[in-house]
Amino acid sequence: MFCEDVRQERDGQDTLIGVFPDNLHIKAPSDEPTPPNAVAHIPRMGFYLRAYFEVDGDLPASASARIMSSVGVQIADASWEPSTIQKAFDDARGNEMPLAGLIFKVVAGPIPISHPRSKITALLTIDGVEQVVGALNLMFPNASEQPSEQSPSAS
């Protein structure tokens, strides 16, 4: 899920604020400073990913998640320790659940938008196999009037 914010409540529940649609319309700021090589930015964005595994299946040896921009800039990442994966499986089995789950949640910002046809993707890697598990299409109202794609410059 792509959203404005992810908040952890006192009782351990997570609240997702402002869940974005698949196509998010972006306005280029007219009076706000914009990061270098960007045509706009999102001040703050939350990411919430749940990965489930059958408890009767193989225990993954490694698991990680990444959030990437369409020009290859990593926005956020995390990996789960083998002990965390094992605990998720043990807890699920102990509660007689058919699935064990891992949760990745992060709030990041600002998120620079480098061109008018940008995408943000969520990637999950299990035992070295990477899959796209979510995508957010960032759209400008008049994309044809915006600057063309630029790669971020190296500093």
In a domain, 103, yes or no: yes
- Helical residues (DSSP H) of the chain, grouped into ranges: 82-94
Q: How far apart are CA 95 and CA 88, in angstroms?
A: 11
Compute φ and ψ for 67, nearest 5 degrees.
-115, 125
Let me know if residue 66 belongs to a domain: yes
Query: If the chain, 155 residues long, is cut into consecutive pieces of 10 residues, what is the mean pLDDT of each piece?
Result: 94 94 80 64 93 95 95 93 97 98 94 85 97 93 48 40
Domain count, the chain: 1
Q: Give me the pLDDT at residue 145, please.
A: 44
Answer yes or no: is 43 within a domain: yes
Residue 105's domain is classified under what CATH number? 2.60.40
Q: Which residue range is the domain that position 109 belongs to?
A: 35-145
Q: Say which amino acid occupies 34.
A: T
pLDDT in tens, 30-44: 555 556 666 788 889
